Structure 1
Amino acid sequence: MPDTQDQNQDHQQPDDDHADVRFPPPFIYISFLVAGILSDSPWIDGQLATMPAMLMGAAVLVIAGMLALKSVPRHRKEGSNVEPWKPTTKIISDGVYGRSRNPIYVAMALLYIGISIAAGSLAALVYLVPCLLIIRFYVIGREEIYLERKFGEEYVAYKGKVRRWF
């Protein structure tokens, strides 16, 4: 007869099968970005940032977009959820996930950086530090606890091989 505790771990209740992240990570990034841009961007005065800043920002945005296009569809293809408040169905460990455990958050950070540079907003770049701390400890920290609880040794081994960011 199977152990009841093993059955409970394998078949978690739907309300418990998620990382307990209550704020969408894009909302966290956007909140800090908007606050930073409103603090000091020339956009506020109806002016543009310098052309080199806009070009550099655009280059970073392209890199962010390429990373996002390699990350998000991979979840969809595997039938897994991107949203941390929904169940994760499997550990994806190949492709960009073989280089970073969180390529979507890296892409969001690059998007943030690209927009900040293009906007000429030093304050937004400074605000990225607390933003990333919240992402790291509030979002990723909860995700890692959940994934370790759900997938056990499979996730621990993945954590041992692949860095959190890049």
Structure 2
Amino acid sequence: MAGQREEHGPQGPRGLGWIDLPPVWLAAALVGSWHLRGIGPDLGAFGLAAGGLVAVAALVLVALAVREFARHRTTVVPHHVPAELVTTGIYARSRNPIYLADLMILGGLSLAWNAPLGLALVPVLWWILDRRFVRPEEARMSGKFLAGFDAYTQRTGRWL
């Protein structure tokens, strides 16, 4: 998929490299949630079923999002400038379905693992994704796609 690396070089902003990727932040939050298993109320079969459903829905969301990027032949990689503004498919409903899916995966697995206190990590991960990825990506896209991106932000919510 096409896309240019942003001007800060191969190590990402401030030299963070591979650490500054959403899956790494998600994995760290998942490890934290895993360690909170069994603390708090027992969610039993409900937690497993509800959490599993949310996590599977998140994977479907990721698949739909990646499919749109592939259809438009542009990059899905953070810190790269996309070749085209994707506003179709799932992107007509959310400007950040993959990041939304990351939050759903964390919440869903926290429930499925009987780690209700792990749900407290969802707003923490949201904050990290919003500040480290969403806002910088939107600034890049606004600079590249100008009025087209502004119109997109008016009709499509950042998260939902």
TM over 0.5: yes
Query: Deviations 1:65-102 (Å, cap 9, x if unpaired)?
Result: 22112111211121111111222111111111011000
2:117 to 97, 107, 123: 123
Q: Contact conserved, 2:6 with 2:80, CA < 8 A, in 1?
A: no
Aligned mates of 1:63, 1:111 — CA distance in 2: 9
> What is the letter of the counterpart of residue 75 of structure 2?
N
**Cα contact 1:41–1:120 (8 A) shared by 2:** yes
Q: Does 1:16 align with 2:7?
A: yes
- The partner residue of 2:32 within 24, 30, 35 is 35
Task: Confirm whether residue 155 of structure 1 aligns to residue 146 of structure 2.
Answer: no
Aligned mate of 1:114, from 93, 108, 113: 108
- 1:7-49: CA deviations, max 9, x gaps? xxxxxx855299x6651111112212211221x2039xxxx96
Q: Secondary structure at the match of 1:16?
A: coil
**Of 83, 86, 95, the match for 2:89:** 95
Structure 1 unaligned regions, length at least 5: 1-12
Percent sequence identity is 24
How many matched pairs? 148
Amino acid at match of 1:29: L
Give the TM-score of the pair, scaled to structure 2.
Answer: 0.83
Q: For residues 14 and 109 of structure 1, do their structure 2 counterparts lie closer, same or farther at Cα, with a shift above 3 Å needed?
A: closer
Partner residue in 1 for 2:22: 25
Corresponding residue for residue 47 of structure 2:
53
**Distance in 2, Cα, partners of 1:95 & 1:17:** 31
**Partner of residue 146 from structure 1, selected from 140, 149, 155:** 140
Q: CA, structure 1 residues 33+118, in 2 after alignment: closer, same or farther (shift >3 Å)? A: same
What is the CA–CA distance in structure 1 between the aligned matches of 2:7 and 2:32, rounded to whole Å? Answer: 33
User: Larger Cα Rg: Structure 1 or Structure 2?
Assistant: 1
Normalized against structure 1, the TM-score is what? 0.80
In 1: Cα distance, 2:8 partner to 2:68 partner: 21
Counterpart position of 1:63: 57
State the alpha-carbon separation in 2 of the partners of residues 81 and 15 from structure 1.
12
* Residue identity in the other structure for 1:76: A
- For structure 2, the residue ranges without an aligned partner over 5 or more in a row are none
CA distance in 1, matches of 2:8, 2:32: 33
Superposed structure 1 runs of 4+ greater than 6 Å apart: none
